[in-house]
Structure 1
Amino acid sequence: MAMVVREEKNIEEELNYSILLSERTRKAAEESESFKQECSEVGKRVERLSQMLRNVACLSTSSSTTSSTSSSSSLSSSIYDRPIRRIVSEAVKNLERALTLVRKCRHSGVLRRVVTITSTTDFRKALNLLDASLGDMRWLLSVFDSEDGGGCSIVLSLPPIASIDPILSWVWSYVAVIQMGSTLPDRIEAANALASLAQDNDRNKKIIIEEGGIPPLLKLLKESASPDAQVAAATALTNLATDCERVRQIAVALAIPIVVHVLSESPARVQIQVASLMARMADQDPASREEFARENAIRPLVSLLSIDLVLEDPKNAAATASKQPTSIHSLVQINKEMAMAARLHNHHSNSLHSSEGSSRGRDHHRRDREQENPEVKLELKITCAEALWMLAKGSVSNSRRITETKGLLCLAKIIEMEHGKLRFNCLMTVMEIAAVAESNADLRRAAFKTNSIPAKAVVDQLLRVIHEVGSSPAMQIAAIKSIGSLARTFPARETRVIRPLVQQLSNIDAEVAMEAAVALGKFSSPENFLCGEHSKAIIEFDGVPPLMRLLRSNEKVKVHALILLCYLALHVGNSKELEHARALTALELAGRSSSVQHPSLKELLPKAIYHLELYQAGAHPNRESYAT
């Protein structure tokens, strides 16, 4: 318990106590009457240790004074006290042990020696411990008192306290330099070293976070005028953010506002690494996604993703495309929208005037981005698309913000024009937005209205990907899932989305075929108001034969094929196609099979069988032939 109390003291109190203790020990050694030689050796080491403690106290005091008088400097900071606390705490333990030992030597005589049971072995142990503390203090002073008289320097030698765990001393040295380094190159080198350590294993990550590595890295990311320093800091933070708990610790250190600010204000190569950090944090921690939403992280991401893209305003496109006379209601609505756009424009202009200096910085970086080589632009877009993907995952607020900007149009344009990883990331972003819209009626109605030009553009590109012969299975699956999630937004006449899904039931890739069955199941599910019309469309597009073939696939595929077949049986039970395909026999065989275990089929399968029996009872006396 005493140790916990001591840890709660400020660093000055820790050092003052250790200096006072060293003076007591030295004085007790001078007053010894037995083991004088041994006590003299103890006194000499304690004297050297006391002087080192005083030097550290002076450094701490001067650092605090510099921090309070030069708070505007980006390089000045309070002293990094983690290694000081650990080393001074260990020195205090060793001084207390030495003090207890020398106090036993105040009186001479054989009887006193016998009663106190003091031996030369005790002194050897005490001297070894004091030597270890002296080594720790020398290392500490070498880190904090650089040759030029200010800041810190990287020291890779090991103090005795870290002899069995060298990573600890390296982390101390690197973090001290990042927080207190006198030169920017040293701070960059230390940040890169921390990034390398964090990449090695989880234990290193834990040590870096426990030893206070996050705040100095965030300070370097936020305040440094050097892109190299910002990239190094962002890389280290990205390597640390590999699970939810560590991301929470980064977020608690107020990282999210800093990350969003740097993303908006920095050169392209910094933005690439910061967007990667944002994607990592959003992927690992759902709470961070919502914090990014509150900081409006979506807008700069969409802006960066749309570099070199010409996105026509949906309202202008609608007006241009329309060839019919406009109704009075439409005119009123357009006037309202134009008035709102004007108000937003005025507000935006006022905001620009109030932050003119910041705007000039953004304009400068925008010009730099426009002049970047295509490879850098592509990498920036890829990381921004990945960040949007992770932010949209399960988040209504982020998905809504993407759809409220020109995000959907931007995603559709990239899916149309690009290839590879950028296109895939944009497809995955659309898939996550659609998945959120599936469970949120307000977002679904607002973003994916039938007459919405952005929504129509996205759907067109999704269908294009599904149709493409060269599309990878992963891209086809993302597009199919997106269409399935939006099943309740399509009217009965929108059969163009049904045909490509039916065609994919015959895909040679089992995963693609299964996802097509899942998506069609959402169209024909009783939860879909138009399930009857969609079920008829599936049968009209000759979906039954490939569906029956899927029943012979592996169990995972078979379950989803059975669910779709049950829906078709419920809604179009009098279909000749189902009768000719012997759907009733197939369902009866599935009902008797113990291998088909799925909660949805427990009640659905008997209902589908009963419904088909009303129309097809006795139609096929040799139903068992389906098994062959």
Structure 2
Amino acid sequence: MEDQRVEEELTRAIVLAERVRTAVDEAGSYKADCIQVGRHVDTLTDKLRSLVRFTSSAQSFYERPVRRVVAEVCTNLGRALALLRKCKGRSVLRRVVSIISAADFRKVVFHLEASAGDMKWLASVLDSNNCDVTLPPVASNDPILAWVWSSVCAICIGSLAEKIAAASRLAALAGDNDRNKKIIVEEGAVPPLLKLLNESASPEAQIAAATGLLYLSNEEERVRTIVDALGIPLIVKVLGDSPMRVQTWVARLVARMSEFDSIAQCDFARENAIRPLVTLLSFETFSDDQMMMSQGKQSIHSLVKINMEMEKHTVVVDGKNSVPNHHYRPYTSSFSSFHLDGGGRGGSNRKERENERPEVKRMLKISCAEALWMLARGNVLNSKRITETKGLLCLAKLVETEEGELRYNCLMTIEEITAAAEFNADLRRAAFRPNSPAAKAVVDQLLRLMKESDNPALQIPAVRSLGSLARTFPARENRVIGPLVTHLGNRSQEVAAEAAIALGKFACPDNFLHEVHSNAIVELNAVPVLMRLLRGNDRAQLHSLILLCYLALHATNNAATEQARLLTALEGLDKALLANSELRELVSKTIYHINLYHAGPHSQRLLYVH
């Protein structure tokens, strides 16, 4: 039982073995068979006493296999005791009534030999100089159990090389299937892996541990086990103070845990994981900005002036021309030095980081961007924290200069932050003010992607992000509305539907400037395209219908809205499309509005959709 100390369980087993020994001495029948049982019990007793001596002297050891083996030993000793008690009487009648056969003794001896084999295996895995990889009888029906036990034991007491090999074995087992993951967690592998992750003297050991934990973290309950083992403060510490290749795996671990568990997502932010992630993501991106700040130009006025000057110049990053640097970070010099180091370690490591291979730096940034994406997903507070570290500027910069997975992860992070800002006025006002350099940089890159990219995987998050920011744009914001209207005719129905959703956020009644935006959308000739979208797939049809209703209700340019065609289309809608009561009400209101205000005298009808 887990609530008992291991020493207590071992004492119980030894007492039970002594009782079996006494029963052997008291046996009145089948004497030879009982003596044979006694020899096996003596062997077990010696092994149990050796194990007691080990557990009493060891500072720490892996308890799970000890408890399991000792429990099995007690079960088999109980079987032996029950049989030997039947042999206590000498009378022929008792022997006949007991019905003892030679097979009963063979069965008991078999179980005792199996327990002796378990004890021998246990002694070997608890010996740091002799890690047995054979299969103990107790795990004969489930070999994975023995492999997990021996691996965890090696992580606990083995040499450094053995610990790395054992953590790699666990990672390989965890990568096979979810059943293995469940066994690994149930058998208590998480605390030893976390301890190995803290092995700062060996990056290989840290990577092996992080890999194992990463494979385990694909389900909420298992992630919660890592959280409950106080793993998050340790993970954040390693993230801020390790070589880049270790930080890459730890950032992946942060992303995976945040993806599957909202508690972990919040705890990482509470432990201040966002700042080192942004720091690592922006490493070697804003070096000129850092240099200017280190020269003492740290007043708000000076920083704004620096930002304006930097917009006019091109900086060089890694030997390549980059775009103008807009980075504006009113932080103290202490944070500036943290940023310069590329992490939480001392400045002496900067040269080591700069000399790291480009592919290692890129993989680190990909992992950090993914971690920020998962931390921001559905979390307003974390999104706010990212903007407070000036992460938006860094994300916008990387969206502009990078490609592939790194750009995609940055773009998805922006999508999550803008989605949070859509429903949180404080975040919207703080991070996306019209005169904010960060907000301007983000919008510029979103618009550039919409115009230049033909990849729906990039177009969709860009369109969604602009739609989420609809309430931050001033009146007559055709710079944003125009590209969105253009994408209504995108060859991808998904992109077209997202464009309709985004424009709907400009034209909906919740937007204070909905009338101005509706007129702008109509003037850009969006209505004919939307009418064609009504013949598209279900999603495109639904959202084009909603946007058409908003335009009919709010736009004042009546002629351009093609009211007659729209009225005919609304009247001919499939009833299945209007299953939603709110949509049915919106369509009814639109039909009423068209008939009452925009149709000719001969068609003053009040039509409702039922």
The normalised TM-score by structure 2 is 0.90
Secondary structure of 2:576's partner? coil
1:171 maps to which of 148, 151, 154: 148
Label 1:379 to 1:471 Cα distance change in 2 as closer, same or farther (>3 A): farther
C-alpha distance in structure 1 between counterparts of 2:504 and 2:303, whole Å:
34
Match for residue 212 of structure 2?
236
Q: State the shift of 1:8 in Å.
A: 2.1
1:418-497 → structure 2 map (5 Å cutoff)? 418-468=402-452, 470-497=453-480
1:183-582 → structure 2 map (5 Å cutoff)? 183-310=159-286, 312=289, 316=302, 318-319=304-305, 344-345=332-333, 361-468=345-452, 470-572=453-555, 574-579=557-562, 582=565
1:38 maps to which of 33, 39, 42: 33
- Alpha-carbon deviations, 1:285-317, whole Å to 9, x = none? 111111011001111001100111127489656
C-alpha distance in structure 2 between counterparts of 1:7 and 1:410, whole Å:
50
Match for residue 13 of structure 1?
8
Q: State the shift of 1:346 in Å.
A: 6.6
Match for residue 108 of structure 1?
90
Q: State the shift of 1:612 in Å.
A: 1.2
C-alpha distance in structure 2 between counterparts of 1:242 and 1:235, whole Å:
12
- Alpha-carbon deviations, 1:564-599, whole Å to 9, x = none? 000001102652111267112112212x54344344
Label 1:315 to 1:455 Cα distance change in 2 as closer, same or farther (>3 A): farther
| 8 A Cα contact 1:579 1:616, kept in partner | no
- Alpha-carbon deviations, 1:492-520, whole Å to 9, x = none? 14321110000000100110000000000
Q: Does 1:135 align with 2:122?
A: no
Match for residue 334 of structure 1?
none
| 8 A Cα contact 1:264 1:362, kept in partner | no
Q: Does 1:49 align with 2:44?
A: yes
* AA at the equivalent of 1:16: T
| 8 A Cα contact 2:522 2:557, kept in partner | no
* AA at the equivalent of 1:32: A
Secondary structure of 1:223's partner? coil
Q: State the shift of 1:600 in Å.
A: 3.5
Label 1:116 to 1:580 Cα distance change in 2 as closer, same or farther (>3 A): closer
| 8 A Cα contact 2:9 2:70, kept in partner | yes
| 8 A Cα contact 1:465 1:475, kept in partner | yes
Aligned residues: 573
Match for residue 121 of structure 1?
103
Q: State the shift of 1:127 in Å.
A: 1.0
Match for residue 329 of structure 1?
none
- Alpha-carbon deviations, 1:449-499, whole Å to 9, x = none? 11111111101111111111x341011100000000111111114321110
| 8 A Cα contact 1:408 1:454, kept in partner | yes
**Higher mean C-alpha displacement, 376-385 vs 607-616:** 607-616
C-alpha distance in structure 2 between counterparts of 1:618 and 1:102, whole Å:
106
| 8 A Cα contact 1:548 1:581, kept in partner | no
* AA at the equivalent of 2:351: R
Secondary structure of 1:478's partner? helix
Label 1:316 to 1:500 Cα distance change in 2 as closer, same or farther (>3 A): farther
C-alpha distance in structure 2 between counterparts of 1:348 and 1:39, whole Å:
79
Label 1:270 to 1:288 Cα distance change in 2 as closer, same or farther (>3 A): same
C-alpha distance in structure 2 between counterparts of 1:620 and 1:49, whole Å:
104
Label 1:581 to 1:265 Cα distance change in 2 as closer, same or farther (>3 A): farther
**Higher mean C-alpha displacement, 310-319 vs 273-282:** 310-319
Q: State the shift of 1:79 in Å.
A: 0.9
| 8 A Cα contact 2:477 2:517, kept in partner | no
* AA at the equivalent of 2:481: I
Q: State the shift of 1:378 in Å.
A: 0.7
1:603 maps to which of 577, 580, 585: 585
C-alpha distance in structure 2 between counterparts of 1:49 and 1:377, whole Å:
56
Match for residue 572 of structure 2?
589
* AA at the equivalent of 2:171: A
Structure 1 unaligned blocks of 5 or more: 1-5, 68-77, 324-339, 624-628
* AA at the equivalent of 2:512: F
Secondary structure of 1:586's partner? helix
Label 1:173 to 1:620 Cα distance change in 2 as closer, same or farther (>3 A): farther
Secondary structure of 2:562's partner? helix
| 8 A Cα contact 1:217 1:233, kept in partner | yes
Label 1:519 to 1:382 Cα distance change in 2 as closer, same or farther (>3 A): same
Identical positions, percent: 56
Q: State the shift of 1:390 in Å.
A: 0.4
| 8 A Cα contact 1:525 1:531, kept in partner | yes
2:595 maps to which of 613, 617, 625: 613
* AA at the equivalent of 1:222: N
Q: State the shift of 1:614 in Å.
A: 2.1
* AA at the equivalent of 1:46: V
- Alpha-carbon deviations, 1:127-184, whole Å to 9, x = none? 11111111111111121124x4xxx62x331111111100001101101111121x10
2:133 maps to which of 127, 135, 156: 156
The normalised TM-score by structure 1 is 0.87
- Alpha-carbon deviations, 1:48-72, whole Å to 9, x = none? 1111111211221221xxx3xxxxx
* RMSD of aligned residue pairs (Cα, Å): 2.3
Secondary structure of 1:247's partner? helix
| 8 A Cα contact 1:305 1:410, kept in partner | yes
**Higher mean C-alpha displacement, 82-91 vs 600-609:** 600-609
Secondary structure of 2:198's partner? helix
**Higher mean C-alpha displacement, 592-601 vs 263-272:** 592-601
Match for residue 72 of structure 1?
none
Q: State the shift of 1:21 in Å.
A: 1.4
| 8 A Cα contact 1:135 1:160, kept in partner | yes
Label 1:346 to 1:136 Cα distance change in 2 as closer, same or farther (>3 A): closer
* AA at the equivalent of 2:136: P
**Higher mean C-alpha displacement, 12-21 vs 162-171:** 12-21
Match for residue 87 of structure 1?
69
C-alpha distance in structure 1 between counterparts of 2:245 and 2:471, whole Å:
42
| 8 A Cα contact 1:559 1:596, kept in partner | no
| 8 A Cα contact 1:42 1:98, kept in partner | yes
* AA at the equivalent of 2:172: S
| 8 A Cα contact 1:91 1:133, kept in partner | yes
Match for residue 313 of structure 2?
none
C-alpha distance in structure 2 between counterparts of 1:62 and 1:163, whole Å:
30
Q: State the shift of 1:321 in Å.
A: 7.1
